[in-house]
Amino acid sequence: MDKVATNAADAVADIDSGSVIGIAGFGVIHGFPVELTAAVRARELRDLTIVCNSLGRDPAHPVSIVQAGQASRLIAAFSARAGGVAGAATALSPVPLDVELVPQGILVERLRAVAAGIGAFYSPVGQDTVITGGKERRAFGGQTYVLESPLHLDYALIYARRADRAGNLSFRGTSQNFGPSFAKGARVVIVEVDELVEVGELAPGEVDLPGIFVDRVVQRAEKAEPLWRVARETAEARTYLGRPGRTATQLAERIAGLLPEGSYVNLGVGLPTMVSDHLDGRDVVLHAENGVLGYGTRLAPEDADPDYYNAGAEPVSLRPGAAVFDSTEAFEMARSGRLTAVVLGAFQVDGRGSFANWTTPQMGGGAIGGAMDLLVKPGRLIIAMWHCERAGQPKIVNACQYDVTGTECVDLIVTDLAVIERDGRGLVLRECAPGFEPADIARLTEAPLVVDLWTVP
């Protein structure tokens, strides 16, 4: 059984206008089937539905299909990002674009449900947010669940490191992420690989996705150069009331000091990713939803392996005993309550412990990612953020002005000015940054605070 196509153009030649196409890939740069995507773009199809985790940023990523006006619908976990990596999908498209935002973990479950023959399933993810508006809700065991439907793809375009001629695939490192899920949700699966081998050259234990899920394989014409998103925060502290707060590095170091030994911890994108740089010698195992457990410090690109990166798509080291897997398994670890703590960034946190971190009116879309999945059973939920906006507005507010990510779920807020814990009394100020007093923190915080500082031995 030989499933090898001559080239990318031949591999996608039967895709028609109106098709539902899933394009795997993680973050803004990693693991996209770039030659297959470019070949689809070159066919000048119309009225496509594009399903992806994110649009990417380069001409050979899904964003190019949207920019060309070839898509009428987008189903994704990221349709826009804070800071505008590529811009909001609706603003980039020259034609009307219907956008459906889906949490990462639910995206993979809806795809996997196709292969499992499941008609629909109930999920606890996002049940208290606007993204599940209009969906059926039911209570099981005292918890509310939302009905989700399978996500059927006509075609899936995915990337793997190696394949044999029968379509057996071998991924490497964190490059597996969404590939298996997209393949299992599609009628036709087309795979772009770096290396093509003969049947029998992949040992059975090396096969990560059996060839029965694969229809066509094409070898890349050119080896892709490693790409990195390296978002290093400035060492400069923000100034409040004429005094400097903690730097981003000091904020991350403080959070690292609050993590208990023997814990499993997920670090979100942005400020939280910096925490990994302050855990050397600690018994803290880091988890990322792109499919890695046991990663270490962030690395400079010249020291990095292109197949090992964190949830922020930044290069990382691996600790002894680390494991890699696909995103489905990563979210199983999270939603089953295996994590000790989750550290996320936020635009706002309110006095009840609700928080918003996925969209603002200025974004023109949303960046849900895996945050809502991580809130199902997060262990201790820690928010890492600047205490105020650059213009001076408090980020700890009476009520969130943005659509919330989760309701009454925050346990601890660590900012460049304070450590604030939520308990039965409300928001409790536990610690002030050096040079600041409780009255200063209260002045810079809209929500009321109870002052009960930790006693330092």
Catalytic residues: 289
Distance CA 291, CA 58 (A): 23
Question: Which two three-digit tokens encode residue 1?
Answer: 């059984």
Question: Which two three-digit tokens encode residue 302?
Answer: 């010249």
- H-type helices in 20-103, by residue range? 34-42, 62-67, 89-92
Instruction: Return the closest-CA partner of residue 182 out of 367, 51, 54.
Output: 51
Q: Where are the beta strands (DSSP E) in 277-392?
A: 284-288, 292-298, 316-324, 341-344, 348-350, 355-356, 380-384
Instruction: Return the closest-CA partner of residue 312 out of 85, 147, 137, 92.
Output: 85
Contact status, residue 160 vs residue 209, Cβ threshold 8 Å: yes
In 10 A of CB 391, how many CB atoms? 5
Distance CA 268, CA 277 (A): 14
Distance CA 77, CA 244 (A): 36
Burial class (CB in 10 A: 0-12, 13-18, 19+), 434: exposed
What string of DSSP letters covers 120-181?
A: -EEE-TTTTSGGGTTS-EEEETTEEEEEE----EEEEEEEEEEEETT--EE--GGG-TTHHH
Q: Residue 418 belongs to what H/E stretch?
A: strand 418-423
Amino acid at 322: A
Q: Residue 51 belongs to what H/E stretch?
A: strand 48-52
Q: Which residue has the tokens 């023997």?
A: 262
Distance CA 326, CA 26 (A): 11
